[in-house]
Amino acid sequence: MRVLVMTAVAPEQDAIRRGLGDDPRFEYALAGVGLAASAVNGALALSKAPYDLLLIAGIAGGFEGRAEVGSIVVASEIVAADLGSELLDGFSSLEELGFGASRVPVAEELARRATAALQAAGLPAQAGPVLTVATATGTAATAAALAARVPGAAAEAMEGFGLATAAQRLGVPVLEVRTISNRVGPRDRDAWRIGDALQALEAAGSVLSEVL
């Protein structure tokens, strides 16, 4: 299997690379931050060679009650949670507007096996929708609205949908794995545990190297 591993920034890449080890199956590229950069850089990287899988990895915010800080989330689906239209009575997704799709499926069986393997290794892992947003959530009201919009939402990041859309267009299956550095909601940087999330990402990589 030939796997392209993409993270937003270099510290995430370093962490997952330490976990995956010196394995020639894995190749690495940076996505950049946000939907636009990730879609463009994902398409460019994926077009350079035939890949069997795109592994999207990195840290993320976790929804309270679904994914605690320091835990691992394996995406059950990848959702562009704020891609749509704001209406007087709520929000309409691309599907509801008839303009396309705001969800990209993951490699379902692989995601199940990855989640089970992480749990079997004693790591705090769960599966759930991973949201992609254009603006990181900073209020409790927005966090509640997103959680209501996507039932079971586990984590929030800014690149997954862009990368997954590029992979889908090129026929490459996708797996997204996020480790939680902070809660989704009011921004309290003093409470963020980025170092712990990067350590969890490394630990996840060591298990994924056996699954993939």
Instruction: Tell me the per-residue pLDDT of 6-26, one tens digit each, with 9 for 90 and over.
Output: 999 999 999 999 999 999 999
Query: What's the pLDDT tens digit per position in 147-162?
Result: 999 999 999 999 999 9
**For residues 75 and 111, is the Cβ–Cβ distance under 8 A?**
yes
- Rounded to an integer, the average pLDDT of 177-196 is 93
pLDDT given for residue 190 in this prediction: 81
User: What dihedral angle (degrees, nearest 10) is formed by the CA atoms of 140, 142, 144, 149?
Assistant: -170
Average pLDDT of span 52-70:
97
List the beta bridge partners of residue 6.
29, 56
The answer to whether residue 95 scores a pLDDT higher than 90 is no
Q: Is the dihedral of CA 126, 1, 59, 122 positive or negative?
A: positive
pTM of this prediction exceeds 0.85? yes
Percent of the chain whose pLDDT exceeds 90 = 88
Average pLDDT rounded to a whole number, residues 186-204? 93
Res. 171 pLDDT band, cuts 50 70 90: very high
* pLDDT tens-digit map of 101-145: 999 999 999 999 999 999 999 999 999 999 999 999 999 999 999
Q: Confidence class of residue 94 from pLDDT cuts 50, 70 and 90? A: confident
Alpha carbon distance 154, 141 (integer Å): 16
Quick one: pLDDT band at residue 90, thresholds 50, 70, 90?
confident
Per-residue confidence band for 87, with pLDDT thresholds at 50, 70 and 90: confident
Percent pLDDT > 70 in the chain is: 100
Structure tokens at 178: 């996020």
**Cα 39 to Cα 26: distance, rounded to the nearest angstrom:** 20
Q: How much is the mean pLDDT over the chain?
A: 95
What number is the average pLDDT over the span 41-48? Answer: 97
Instruction: Tell me the chain's radius of gyration from C-alpha atoms.
Output: 16
Give the model's pLDDT for residue 14: 98
The winner for highest mean pLDDT among 49-53, 96-100, 184-188 is 49-53
